[in-house]
Every structure is written in structure tokens, then in C-alpha cells.
Structure 1
Amino acid sequence: MVDGCRSEFRGGATPINNRQEGSLSRRLPSGRIEVATVTLFDAYIGTFTAEFKASDGQPMGAASRGIERFEFDDDSGVLRFVDETAGLLSPSYLALIPDQSLIYAVERQLVASPSFRGNFRPKTWRFDPTTMHPGAITTFSISSDGSLSPACRISSAGESPSHVSVHPSGRRVYVANYWSGQIASFRVDSAGRAHAPDVVVRDPAPSHSDHWRQAETHVHQVYPLAPGHGVLVTDLGLDRLAAYETQPDGRMAEHPASAVTLPLGTGPMHVVAHPSGRVVYVIGELDSRVHIVASENGFPTCHRASISTAPEGYAGTNMPSEVLISQDSRHLYVINRGSNSVAGFLLDSAGGIVRALGHWPTHGQTPRAATWSPSGRHLLVANQTPGSLVVFARSEDGALHLVGDPVEAHTPSCILIRDRPSR
């Protein structure tokens, strides 16, 4: 592992659009071009290397050693373990640059203390920088066989980073530092090196909730809007969704262009924007609801409505962890921890929720992440406990169907799929 960025760092190419599905072609003697569909991809799994424990002290899953890599067949839906990149401190979230040559990982570096058991803290807890270790961003170059090599490591400019994302230009990396509340924007040079942040924002506003996780600002995600003109930021501590304008190179403004305060106790975690630009969906980790927020060109304007993500009749704790829109924009899905389910909703052409489709079990506990396969035919879900990956096939009506058996993984928290070049 290298602390700091080396001048001989490998990477950087002209960004290209990510493909929906790969293809290879060859010219036959007749002159006809034969195109073969590529269905094999690399699936990189972000994980926690620290052991998580429940409030009763029982382990929630075996700790990993770093980033795990699987081969994924988008035709059959089959996952196969390939290798792992060890020596990291909870690389819990991953992001890929547009040309797919580099991966950024945030190292969350959770630490134990007498008042800290896994991911749980007492109601009286307040942020204390002396009890937390600074987070980090590690850059990995990707070799021709898909294996990762650490090339650069810098501070995340805050504590316990929960999310990392890349501007569509590939020239800025954004990090949400959850516990300390900073949003950091890092300039990336032509070789892929992330430099010290040129913008660091922390909202000083007081919290109005008495929930122990809402004593102050806790940013959870920085979501780049597809056109590249702004980012959305969810703040679990302040029940707020904010939008910051960005320049063509991704440099972020220091003050939000718009912000919407969500109902007290929402605990916004993740957001996804409808392709129309008129609606964004925010999941509340604390209120177990998906919130529909009206927007103009992706920038939030007002809170419109919300709907529960828990199965009907479910009375236990339910904490949504991810929200996704199908590639045809017809269906919305929310991953639920607690009920350990995937909730599905039918959308109209404007992004409104028409009705609930149903709930499907994740065949594991504490599902923390999910992503679509490149074709959009499969949904991959990561169960943190006891540690597994599951694959669902999605039918035309939005229903999900389990493909095969769960595949073992260690405390998975993020799934990142990359095109696999011909080898």
C-alpha cells in the first residue's frame, strides 16, 4: 500500500460511455462481420474488515480481508469467486471512473471503543474526533486480468466515509464522510491521481430530532446527476436533501443551490434520480419510507409524498439501504434491512408511483447493497449477514426470481460491475 500519490501512477484515458453489454466482432472470409455478445463481467465487492456486532454482542457476519472479486455471467446469472485484494481497512464503498481503468475505494476504518459496539452507539453519543480514525480513499489500477493494484492513498478529509462517487467527466471524486459530516470534492489529474480536496463542506445547522443518530449532520451519499451539472447530497442527521451545482470539470459549489427538508425522523440515506429529471426518490433509513421529491432538472424543489417500503403487516425494525430504478424506468426497487426484502413499485412515465408490486426475500440478512447487471436483466444483492450475494432475474412485469443459490461473500457492502475485456 502506498500513502500519497506516485508520479509513475498508471491510469487515465479519454472517458467513454459505459456499455449496456459488451461485444466482440471479427470479419469472416466472406466479408460478413460476426458479432459475439460478451456476458462475462468482473464484480468487485466492497466489504467491512471490522467485525460487526449486534446490540447483544453477537457477531453479525465474518469480517473480510478486503475487496473480493467475482466473475459474473450476465446470461446465466452465475457468480464465481476469483480473488481478493487484502490489506485494507473496511473498503466499504467503491466507484469506477468512466473509462473503467481505475477503482476508488473509501476505507471506513471503524474503530472499537467502550461506547462503540460495531455500528451501534448509545443515545447520548456525540461526535468526538479523538475516538475516530480519519478515513481514506485508495486508488486501484486494474490489470488486464482484472486484478487490482493499490497505487495511491490519501485522506478522505473526514471520519468514517460512507460513499464515494465520480463526476461524469472523470475529473472529480466526491466523498461523503458520515460521522464527521464533511462532503469533500477531490480534483483528479490526467493520470487518475486524486489530490487534496479543493472543496470541503460541513453543514453547521442544528438537528431538530432527538434520535441518537441525528444529533448533528451525517452526510451519507453524494450522488452525481447524469448530465454532470450537479450533485445531490443526503444528510441523515439533518433530514435534508441538498443539491450543489458543479462546473464542467466537476468542481463543486461551496453552498447548495437548492435543498429540501424531509419529514422529521426520515434519516435520508440514498437517493436516485428519475431520467425525466422531474422526480428523485430518497430512502429514509430511520422511517422506512421512500420519499418522492419533485425536482427541476434533478435539483429538488419540494417533498411530494412517501410510501412505506416494509412488507404489509411487518412490525419489526426495517431500515432501507438502497434504492434503484430499472433500466427501462418502469419499476423502482428498495432494499430493506430488517425485513430482509426487496420492495418493488410500478412507476408511470412521469416517475410517479402507481402501486406496490410486492416484496421478495433476499435469502440472507442485513442486505446492504444492490446493483443492476449491465444488461438490466439481473439484480444483484449483497447480504451482510451471514455474508452472501444473491442474483435475481427480473421479468417484464417487474417481478424478481431467484437465480441459483446464494454465493458466499464476507460482510459485503457494495457491488461494482465492470466490463471484462477479452482475455
Structure 2
Amino acid sequence: MTNGAAADAGDAQAEGAAPGRRAYIGSFTANGGRGITTAAVDPESGALTVLHSTDAVPNPSYLVPDPDGRWLYAVSETADGAAAAFALTPGGQPELLGPAVPVGGADPTHLTLVEGRLATANYSSGSVSALPVGEDGSLGGTAGVLAHEGSGPHADRQEGPHAHAVAPAPDGRWLLSVDLGTDSVRICTFADPAAEAPDVHDEVPLRPGSGPRHLAFHPHGHHVYVIHELDPVVTVCRWDGARGALTPLGECRLLPEGAEAAGTYPSGLVVSPDGRFAWAANRGHDSLSVLALDPSGGAATLVTTVPCGGRWPRALALHPDGRHLYVANERSGDVTWFTVDPVTGVPVRGGAIEAPAASCVVFV
């Protein structure tokens, strides 16, 4: 599916622009999503203009581009579990590089690039997979799978492991795996270059029943913020990259005092490039939490919450310039953008585009 007129206008606008000129929106095709939608980004207002979309793989719910913006990778969040590679054309259209490749796990929800591999977090099977990435950006070979073990106190949500996110440490030496079912973060390594799957270096327990979902690093690389789905909090942790050690320091509530936590399921978290602020998305409460970070990054304080601009904010994304924040609102079927006040960190709504069953936004 292609919107040719919008594509021409968007390409003219984007020509010669800085990194972040295009946004790629993942969605659930099973719920009416368009697959991967490409949009031009206005560098001043942050506004999005839809260019085209592709439904080449089902349920591309999470995306990640390679650092040079040549390729785009997507999970296929299905019971069979797969990942796909796309080449990005000069006009921004993703072109599938061969068929989707099985990841050896069910319902992959997240992915990242690390050590020449594509790693996925497989929610239903509670595992992390790794696929080799070729020089041409394609995926090949058989997935190496690291199975998580354990459970948590919530019988309906934590009956077993549920890997929800994977993120490389800033120096690329470590892979951190966040597991909602086991209330823990695993620190993994590819110490053996020939190994297909990562090895667990350490497993760090977090508060039982909190359901960790995603994490983000402070830009200086010495602190990590873990957002929880089953309790609206963020855990602030110290990170020692030399030892691969994660140490929880404390928690920050994401809702105002007196707000009812039941029915609120936080999802995404991003940190400002200058390390002064972080923002969290709260499904159910349908809000964005604004957090002020202390100069060291070792503590967070809730400043305020603002409406997310839609319903069920599944993911947040910050434009590379740090001035605009984007929210993928899954149930209202739109992506809303905000301009961030540089003094207070409070986002001010700018506009929205229709994006059925939207689940993530990334920039190239």
C-alpha cells in the first residue's frame, strides 16, 4: 500500500535533512494495523506525514534500524515467532530481504542489534534468541536460544518466564534481558564468538510482583531505568560496565499521589539526550509521566503526568534531536507527537496521525 502523492511531498521535504528525517511505525496486522508505516518528519514542528506502508510480515510490533540507517529489522509477533530484515530504499520504502526467519520462540515482543547479531525477546516462551546478521543486512542461519527459568507471585501473569525486552549496554559488551514473569533482569554475554546463543553472566532480582517490562540507559552509561508493567514504578539501577553488574538503588512512582494504580500498566520509557528527564507511558491511565533525573542520574522524581493523546500508549520514542516525543497509542489507533519544554521537560501536544493498532515508532 502506497500513498504516492504523500511520498513525493515527504521526500522533497526530507531531502538533505538530518538523521531522524523519517519515522517507521510498527503495528499489529491481526488487529487492523498496516504493518510497517513510513512517515516523513518535519524537523521544526515534529509533525508526521504518512508516505507508505507494507504488510510484508504479520504483526511487526517492534522495529529497530541499523546504526547507519541502511536496514530495518522487525519482529513478527506470532505464535510461531519470526524476525525479518528490510532494506531501506532512498525513498524510505522498506523492501523485504528474503523471508522472515524463525527465532525459535513464541511471540517475540522486542529486538535489538548486538555483537553482529539480532537478538529478540520472546514473551510467551520466555526466551531470548539470537540470529546472525549478514554483511548485506540479511538474517540467516538457525537461531540460538537462551531459555529463561522462574516465575513470580502473580499466578495469571507470572506463571513462568516472559522475556519482554532486550537492550545492549552502551559499550556493546553486554546484553540485558528484561523478564516480566521472573521479576528480574539477566545480564548476558557473547563471550564465545562461536556460540549461537548468549550466556547468562548474572541475574538481578527486582521487587517480586512488579513485572519489569523495558529498560533505558542514562546517556552517561552509569545508570539504568527499568519500567514495570504490573506496578506503576521505575526502578533506578547503577550500572558497572566493567563488571557487568546491575545494582537496584530505589523506585520512583509513575502516578500522582492518590491516583489509583489498579488498571494501569506502564509500557515504554525514554531518557533525554542530556540526561535531565525521562518519560514513561502508562496504559489504562493513558498518560505520560515526566520524571526529573538528578545530575548523577542516580535518582528520579515524578514532576507531573499529562494525557498521552490517545488510548493505550504501547510505546514511546524520542526524536534524535530530543525536542519531540512520540506516542504509539494502540487502541485509539494513532501516533501523537509532542514538543518537549526544554526547561520543565513537560511535553505539549502537537498533533497526531492515524495509525491503526500502532505499537512502536523508530527513526532513521
TM-score normalized by structure 1?
A: 0.77
Match of 2:107 in 1: 160
- 1-side partners of 2:112 and 2:270: how far apart? 16
Give the drift of 1:286: 0.4
Alpha-carbon separation, structure 2, partners of 1:163 and 1:40:
21
Does residue 269 in structure 1 map to residue 269 in structure 2? Answer: no
Which ranges of structure 2 fall in alignment gaps of 5 or more residues?
1-13
* Match of residue 136 from structure 2: 191
Q: CA deviation at 1:399?
A: 3.0
Aligned to 2:29: 49
SS of the residue aligned with 2:312? strand
Aligned equivalent of 2:85, options 139, 144, 152: 139
The 8 Å contact of residues 102 and 143 in structure 2, kept in 1 or not, is answered as no
Q: Which one of the candidate residues 176, 180, 198 is aligned to 2:121?
A: 176
Q: Deviations over 1:136-171 (max 9, x none)?
A: 11111111111111122210211100011112x6x2
Aligned pair partner of 2:189 in 233, 236, 245 = 245
The Cα shift of 1:88 comes to 2.6
Structure 2 vs 1, CA of residues 280 and 388 (structure 1 numbering), >3 Å: closer, same or farther? same
Return 5+ residue gaps in structure 1 as ranges.
Answer: 1-21, 25-36, 52-62, 110-132, 419-423
1:97 maps to which residue?
A: 66
Give 1 or 2 for the bigger CA radius of gyration. Answer: 1
* One of 372, 397, 400 as aligned partner of 2:346: 400
Amino acid at match of 1:390: T
Deviation at 1:388, TM superposition (A): 1.0
Q: CA deviation at 1:284?
A: 0.8
One-letter amino acid of the structure 2 residue matched with residue 324 of structure 1: V
CA distance in 2: counterparts of 1:401 and 1:324, whole angstroms: 13
Q: Tell me how far 1:409 sits from its aligned partner.
A: 0.9
Map of 1:14-53 to 2, 5 A cutoff?
38=18, 41-51=21-31
| 1:253-264 equivalences in 2 (<5 Å) | 254-264=198-208
* Residues matched between the structures, number: 348
Distance 1:403 1:301, change over 3 A: closer
Residue deviations 1:230-260, cap 9 Å, x none?
Answer: 1110011100111112359796764322221
- Within the candidate set 202, 213, 234, 2:178 is matched to 234
Asked whether the equivalents of residues 108 and 135 of structure 1 are also in contact (C-alpha less than 8 Å), the reply is yes
Aligned to 1:302: 247
The one-letter amino acid paired with 2:132 is R
Which residue of structure 2 lines up, in the alignment, with residue 319 of structure 1?
Answer: 265
TM, length-normalised to structure 2: 0.89
> Distance in 2 between the 1:387 and 1:213 partners?
25
One-letter code aligned to 1:341: S
The Cα RMSD (Å) is 2.2
1:201 aligned partner, one-letter code: L
Residue in 2 aligned with 1:221? Answer: 165
Distance 1:65 1:38, change over 3 A: closer
The equivalent position to 1:359 in structure 2, one of 285, 297, 305, is 305
Distance 1:243 1:77, change over 3 A: same
Answer whether contact 1:66 1:90 (CA < 8 A) is retained: yes
- Displacement of 1:68: 1.2
Q: Residue 106 of structure 1 corresponds to which residue in structure 2?
A: 75
CA contact (8 A) 1:106 1:156 kept: no
In 2, the alpha carbon distance for the partners of 1:89 and 1:348 equals: 42
Aligned equivalent of 2:6: none
Contact 1:74 1:374 in 2 (8 A): no
Residue 65 of structure 1: how far off its partner (Å):
2.8
Shift of 1:197: 4.1
1:82 to 38, 41, 51: 51
Counterpart Cα distance in 1 of 2:336 and 2:106: 31
Aligned partners of 1:395, 1:357: CA distance in 2, in Å? 13
The letter for the 1-side match of 2:257 is E
Q: Secondary structure at the match of 1:352?
A: coil
CA distance in 1, matches of 2:317, 2:129: 24
How far has the Cα of 1:407 moved from its partner?
1.6
Change (3 A) 1:278 1:252: farther
